[in-house]
Amino acid sequence: MAAGSTKREFEGSGDTQVVFKKKKDKCRVDNCFAEMGHIHKVVTRNLLQDVAMEMRSFVDQGCSTFIKINRLTLLNSNAIDGSSFSKAFCRISENDDEHSFACLFKKGLHILMTYMERKEMPVNEQESLVLDTLLHYLFEMKNAETKAPFGVLGNLGETDITIILTNHLFGKLCTSSHFLIDKQFKGKSKAKESCPCSNTECKMTGSFGDTGIGNPSVWHGNLDVIVNNQVVVEALEDEPDSDSPGRTPMEVKSTYLSRNPQIIAETIVFSFLQKKRHPEYSHFLFPCIGVNSKDMVVYFYDSKNDVLLESSPISMYTISGGVNLLAIVVSWLVVNHKYLCDGLTEGLKKETSGFFHQAEKVLPIYKNELQFGDVGISCPKPKHQFNFVDDPSRDVLKKDWLRILNVVFKK
C-alpha cells in the first residue's frame, strides 16, 4: 500500500477502498518541522517595517550607514611568488567611483522587497526556500534568545569568532546549514564538537576538514570556513593599537578588514577555482566575507572580467547592542549569491583590477591548475620587499535615495 494511504471498508459489502491522503509539505528550513508556509503567518508587519527601514542603507548615500562598493586596483603583489595566504602582499589603489552594494543584488533585493510590499513569495521554489531562510532567522532573532552568542565575541580569539558567527549567522541563512571549517582550528577551539558559544547544548552544524585551495606555485593556503560550498569566511582578531610594542607595521596592517591582503588573495584564488569547477555558471563574481567581533567587509572578485571589489565596513551591532538587521540582510544576500546575485553591472566591467597583468607569468596556473584540498603549504619568502601604502578614504556623495532605489530596480 502506498505511503500515506488508508483502507476503508463499506458496511455490508465487504469491499474496501483505498483512500489517499495528501501528504502535508514540511518546511524545508533546517531544524524546522512545521508545516510549509507557516512562517508567513507569524512574520509581523512591524518586523518587515524594521527591515524596510534598514534597506535605505543600501542605496541612500546621504545615510550614515550607506553601504558602497569600490573597485580596487592592484599596483603590486606577490601573487607569482608561491606565497601562502598568510604571507600575501597587495599594494592597493582605491578608485574614485563609488557604487551601491545593491547593484550586485538587484534580483535578491527584488525578491525581498516584493515580499515586504505585497507578501508575495517567489514562484521559483529555490528562491522561495532562500527567502524562507531569511524570514525564519528574522523571526527567531525577534522572538527567541538567539542574540546571546554574539555578546561574547569581544572576549574570544579569531577561531571561536569564526565558528560562532558561522554557526549562528552565516550558516543559518543558507539553504543548507552545513559548513566546512579548517581542520587546523580543531585544536584551537574551546570546544571540539559543540559550538564555543555560551550555550553548552549548542551543536555545530559544520564539520572540520581540509579547506586548502590554490597551488604551491602561486597563492595558496587554508580558508577559515567555506559556507554553502560557495562563500569564504575569514575572521580576524580585533584591530590592535598601532602603538602596540613588538608589532611591525606589516603585522598591524594584516589585522585590518579593509584592503586586507590575505582576504584579497583568498577571494581571487577562490573565484578562479570556482570558475574552473563550475564553468556553467552565468557569472563568476564570488564573495569572501571578512569579519571580526564588531564589523564585516565583503570582497568580490570576478575571475572572468578581472574586477576586484570591496564593500564599506558593515557594523555587526546596533548602538543598543542588538544584532544589526542590515548585517543580517547583507549576509543573507552574500551566502546565497548563487541565487540572488546578478554579477557585475556593465559600469563595473569598464576597468579591471590589473591582476591579470600582475600575474601574467603564472596566469595559466590560476586558470587551469588550482585545486581544492591536499594543497602543499610551502611558503617561500617573497622575492621582493614590499611596503604597505594607505590611500586616503573617499567622501561619500549625497544623492536622493529614492531616485537611486528606482535605478537599482529598473529593469
Per-residue pLDDT of the chain (411 residues; tens, 9 = 90+): 444 444 444 444 455 555 544 445 566 666 666 666 666 666 666 777 777 777 766 666 666 667 889 999 999 999 999 999 999 999 998 787 788 898 999 999 999 888 888 878 888 888 988 998 888 888 777 665 545 566 667 777 778 888 888 988 899 898 887 899 998 887 666 555 678 877 777 888 888 899 999 999 999 999 999 998 889 999 886 554 444 344 333 333 345 888 999 999 999 999 999 999 999 988 999 999 999 888 899 999 999 999 999 999 988 876 556 678 888 999 999 999 999 999 999 999 989 999 999 999 999 999 999 999 888 654 444 343 333 333 333 333 334 345 444 544 554
- At 162 the pLDDT is 85
- At 330 the pLDDT is 93
**Chain centroid, CA 294 distance in Å:** 16
- Torsion sign over Cα 52, 56, 58, 59: positive
HSE of 34, CA atoms in CB hemisphere, 13 A: 10
Task: Output the nine-digit C-alpha cell for 31.
Answer: 531544524
- Nearest Cα neighbor of 91 from 103, 78, 106 is 78
HSE of 273, CA atoms in CB hemisphere, 13 A: 26
Task: Output the nine-digit C-alpha cell for 322.
Answer: 542588538
Q: What is the rounded distance in angstroms from the CA atom of residue 174 to the CA atom of residue 227?
A: 8
Distances (CA, A) of 160 to 14, 149, 322, 331, 360: 67, 11, 20, 19, 38
Asked if 292 contacts 237 with a C-beta cutoff of 8 angstroms, the reply is yes
Residue spans of the domains in the chain: they are 39-384
Asked if 290 contacts 267 with a C-beta cutoff of 8 angstroms, the reply is no
Secondary structure E strands in 247-337:
285-291, 295-302, 307-311, 314-315
Any residues with CB less than 8 A from the CB of 81 and at least 6 apart, and which?
380, 382, 383, 384
Q: Model's pTM, two decimal places?
A: 0.80
Q: What is the rounded distance in angstroms from the CA atom of residue 329 to the CA atom of residue 134?
A: 8
